[in-house]
Amino acid sequence: MNSDFTLAIHSLTFLALQPDRMSTSDAISASACVHPVRIRKVLSLLKKHGIIKSKEGPGGGFLFALELNEVNLWDIYKITSEGALQPKCPDSNERCIVGANMQRVLFSIFLGAEEHLGEYLKDYTLKEIIDLVNKEEE
């Protein structure tokens, strides 16, 4: 998993908590304590997939485009991090039984792990993230 996943959730939560107001990448980056360029990269991915919309120019910014219960964490993971759990195996000795098979063996194991992760993340919608954030405020 990479930081784009958590930055996407952070950004979407920020936008969802301000549904009637455009938010700038600067405001979101200040909330997440990261450079605005990193947030803009993530926002670009989210916009490309129709989760947010934007308006350029003065008074512009970003808005959440869907219903909160329409987006789950697996959707966000697939946009930002799919394949991130795949093991990074160096080139191995193909004449060795271990070297010849390790990448394939680990790939199938981690592919299964990612599938399990997906089933778990599907249970959490952005609405539930908002509810958890609001609960922490009480």
Confidence band of 125 (pLDDT split at 50, 70, 90): very high
Nearest to 64 by CA among 23, 124, 7: 23
Contacts of 104 (CB under 8 A, 6+ apart): none
**Distance from C-alpha of 88 to C-alpha of 116, rounded to nearest angstrom:** 20
pLDDT (0 to 100) of residue 63:
93
pLDDT score of 52 more than 90: yes
Confidence band of 57 (pLDDT split at 50, 70, 90): confident
pLDDT score of 36 more than 80: yes
**Distance from C-alpha of 23 to C-alpha of 64, rounded to nearest angstrom:** 10
Nearest to 4 by CA among 77, 66, 68: 77
Q: What is the pLDDT of residues 71-101, one digit of tens each?
A: 999 999 999 987 777 777 778 888 888 888 8
pLDDT score of 22 more than 80: yes
pTM: 0.84
